[in-house]
Structure 1
Amino acid sequence: MVRKETLASLVDKGRRKIQVTDEELDEAKRRRRLLARSALRAFPGSTTYFNGSIAHGDANTPLTDVDLGVVLTAEDAKPYGPGKKSALSLMETVRDVIHEDLDEEFPKLTIEVVGRRRAVLVRFGDPVTNGQPDFTADVMTAIPHPSGCGLYIPNTKIADQWDRADPITHTKMVLQAIEDTKVIFARTVRLLKHWNGTHSKPLCSWNIKALALGCLGEPMPLVNALQVFFTHAADEINKGRTPDPAGVAGPIPLNMTRPEVHKRLCTARDYINLAIEHEAAGRPLSAQHALHQILPELVPDANATQEEADRLASTVRSGGTAATGLGLAVGLVTPTRAWGI
């Protein structure tokens, strides 16, 4: 007999499959602390900040990288910025100090500066997750923005050599959303990042989180959080690129054309709606089959042939259409925004 599971159970089991282990996190955070210590030694009086998946609480296994930044003092930053010096010398300085501090512990460590757009790339030559080829870190050398709002971060691919951004505020917003939703925000993002990776990566991870900040502001079942996200994200991408939640940087770039990204979001929205509709109607195998289309590696497929045949027969008997396809769900949770646009 086929075991029938609820969508809640299937989603929860799926997210546990990709949940990062304590051992991975502990070692990644230890290496991050080592890098932060080197950055502070390279630039006395500076401050460091953490961002990315580990800082945001949404890291998946395997854990392959970590992100951090160092912000120079206003005095030390004076020679740098748009129309002034690029970040190249800063990147070279932090590279040299990291080598001095970590070469002994990590004999295979290499650090790339040339050709890097934003950050020094540290390759430890020693993975955190067993079976992975390596573990890396992006170390950003940033300067305060003259307005006092956000930072200037390197961008070696443009004439000005610097972009405006606010990664510190981004992290604060994400952590607040995790608290407001009682961890549902982070768990949803983990699943969404997995969905993204198995569907040609239409969005970068930050775009996923920025969109989620616009609709996930309170606790709700994880299945409904996915439904809310895909509904909101499809609507927002249909309007245009996602604005910076901190209101500092420009719109977030997409990895595909906007119509193509919109199409993928709509397909996921329709499948999650269909899964919820099937479950509400007492068709658990059909619900699981629909959810599998969104998270194929996390949710096993189910043979819903008999359920679908019964559904079609019932539809015909009631005078409706027997057409198959993606349906529309009932009971959609109303999205709540975390910031005003």
Structure 2
Amino acid sequence: MNRTIARNFEIFFCRISLSDSQQREALERAEAICRFLNLETTLDCFVSGSLSRSTAVRQFSDVDLVATLTDAMSPKIQPTSVISSLLSIIQTRYPLAQVSENTVRITFADGPDVDVLPAIRLGNRTPDNESYAIPTFNLNGWQKFSPMELTEHVRSIDTRSGGNFTRLIKLIKWWSNLHGKPLPSFKIEEIACLAFAREMPQMGHAVAAFFDAAIQQYGAAADAPPEVLRARITAATAVDLEGRGDLEGSIKHWGCLLGDQYPTIIV
């Protein structure tokens, strides 16, 4: 990768990453909510999602909590009933909480918001492999969720890539939020893990390869979100322009993809 483009990516990642103080604030808020939930009907409550996997980004990331519910519940119960029960519990302490897709969202004026995901434990609990049933996004059924497995997978690939894997995920999450969130955060991590299970190219090529992999998830390009199709073209063009020595053109395309947090300077 050209030195200028590489430097611009480094500046971009610094701009979108959470500071230490922001991470501490988010964790303290999460811990307070967990303490409240643990006094109610949940068996356990823990931080999951981007904060636990170091893929959170400024401005857009919420804190994700998993609330495992009483053993008396089972996946035979309708997700709408489970989410409604969890909402009722949370509203006794946080009255402005609302259902948001398959979570209960607690909104704060000073951010970040907190999403609480209800989960039912599946089978016996082991230290390194916990599986849960969680509601699907449209609340019409249940899906399997193994947070520890995903976290370890992300960490393994990130170690092998020298930290570039979590940077890539942050980049895609930032792009997704800028462009109407065509890919949810968990889907971004899932696609990235599949695409780079063996190796990961340099950042620009990795971004283009991610969008290729995302399109393949839909089976046919026509079925993929139009935002993903446009992003694939923009990233591929940026990489091509860099290869031809047109740094100004390459930077312009990366800026179109990533917004004003991507620097436009040429050094």
Relative to the length of structure 2, the TM-score reads 0.79
Letter in 2 for 1:228: A
Q: What corresponds to 2:215 in structure 1?
A: 237
SS at match of 2:261: coil
Q: What corresponds to 2:65 in structure 1?
A: 68
Q: What corresponds to 1:333 in structure 2?
A: none
Letter in 1 for 2:144: R
Q: What corresponds to 1:121 in structure 2?
A: 105
Q: What corresponds to 2:89 in structure 1?
A: 93
Q: What corresponds to 2:132 in structure 1?
A: 151
Q: Is the 8 A contact 2:44 2:68 kept in 1?
A: yes
SS at match of 2:63: strand
Kindly state the Cα deviation for residue 235 of structure 1 after the two structures are TM-superposed: 4.5
How big is each residue's C-alpha offset from its partner over 1:184-209, in whole Å with a ceiling of 9 and x where there is no partner? 11111222222223334332222222
Q: What corresponds to 1:226 in structure 2?
A: 204
CA RMSD of aligned residues (A): 3.4
Mean alpha-carbon deviation: is it higher for 19-28 or for 81-90?
A: 81-90
SS at match of 2:39: helix
Map 1:179-258; keep pairs closer than 5 Å: 179-217=159-197, 224-238=202-216, 240=218, 257-258=223-224
Kindly state the Cα deviation for residue 213 of structure 1 after the two structures are TM-superposed: 1.0
SS at match of 1:93: helix
Relative to the length of structure 1, the TM-score reads 0.63
Q: Distance in 1 between matches of 2:233 and 2:258?
A: 12
Alpha-carbon distance change, 165 to 275 in structure 1, aligned in 2, over 3 angstroms: same
Alpha-carbon distance change, 145 to 8 in structure 1, aligned in 2, over 3 angstroms: same
Q: Is the 8 A contact 1:275 1:287 kept in 2?
A: yes
Kindly state the Cα deviation for residue 214 of structure 1 after the two structures are TM-superposed: 1.9
Q: Is the 8 A contact 2:235 2:254 kept in 1?
A: no
Q: What corresponds to 1:38 in structure 2?
A: 36
Q: Does 1:53 align with 2:50?
A: yes
Map 1:7-46; keep pairs closer than 5 Å: 7-43=5-41, 46=43
Q: Distance in 2 between matches of 1:17 and 1:235?
A: 26
How big is each residue's C-alpha offset from its partner over 1:6-46, in whole Å with a ceiling of 9 and x where there is no partner? 111111111112121111111111111111222222237x2
Q: Which of the two has higher C-alpha Rg?
A: 1
Q: Distance in 2 between matches of 1:215 and 1:159?
A: 29
Alpha-carbon distance change, 302 to 238 in structure 1, aligned in 2, over 3 angstroms: same
Match of 2:114 among 126, 137, 149: 137
Kindly state the Cα deviation for residue 178 of structure 1 after the two structures are TM-superposed: 2.4
Greater helix proportion: 2
Q: Is the 8 A contact 1:215 1:229 kept in 2?
A: no
Matched residues, number: 258
Kindly state the Cα deviation for residue 217 of structure 1 after the two structures are TM-superposed: 4.7
Q: What corresponds to 2:256 in structure 1?
A: 293
SS at match of 2:244: helix
SS at match of 1:135: coil
Alpha-carbon distance change, 296 to 275 in structure 1, aligned in 2, over 3 angstroms: farther
Alpha-carbon distance change, 77 to 155 in structure 1, aligned in 2, over 3 angstroms: farther
Q: Distance in 2 between matches of 1:296 and 1:123?
A: 25
SS at match of 1:295: helix
Q: Is the 8 A contact 1:48 1:68 kept in 2?
A: yes
Q: Which ranges of structure 2 fall in alignment gaps of 5 or more residues?
A: none
Q: Distance in 1 between matches of 2:213 and 2:75?
A: 37
Alpha-carbon distance change, 239 to 174 in structure 1, aligned in 2, over 3 angstroms: closer
Map 1:259-298; keep pairs closer than 5 Å: 260-279=226-245, 283-298=246-261
Match of 2:150 among 148, 170, 173: 170
Kindly state the Cα deviation for residue 117 of structure 1 after the two structures are TM-superposed: 4.2
Kindly state the Cα deviation for residue 257 of structure 1 after the two structures are TM-superposed: 4.9
Kindly state the Cα deviation for residue 146 of structure 1 after the two structures are TM-superposed: 4.8
Kindly state the Cα deviation for residue 59 of structure 1 after the two structures are TM-superposed: 1.5
Letter in 2 for 1:89: S
How big is each residue's C-alpha offset from its partner over 1:120-151, in whole Å with a ceiling of 9 and x where there is no partner? 22223x41xxxxxx432112221112597721
Mean alpha-carbon deviation: is it higher for 49-58 or for 150-159?
A: 150-159
Q: What corresponds to 1:77 in structure 2?
A: 71
Kindly state the Cα deviation for residue 241 of structure 1 after the two structures are TM-superposed: 6.0
Q: Which ranges of structure 1 fall in alignment gaps of 5 or more residues?
A: 100-108, 128-133, 243-255, 304-341
Q: Distance in 2 between matches of 1:177 and 1:81?
A: 32
SS at match of 2:248: helix
Letter in 1 for 2:258: L
Q: Distance in 2 between matches of 1:232 and 1:159?
A: 29
Kindly state the Cα deviation for residue 300 of structure 1 after the two structures are TM-superposed: 4.1
Kindly state the Cα deviation for residue 220 of structure 1 after the two structures are TM-superposed: 6.2
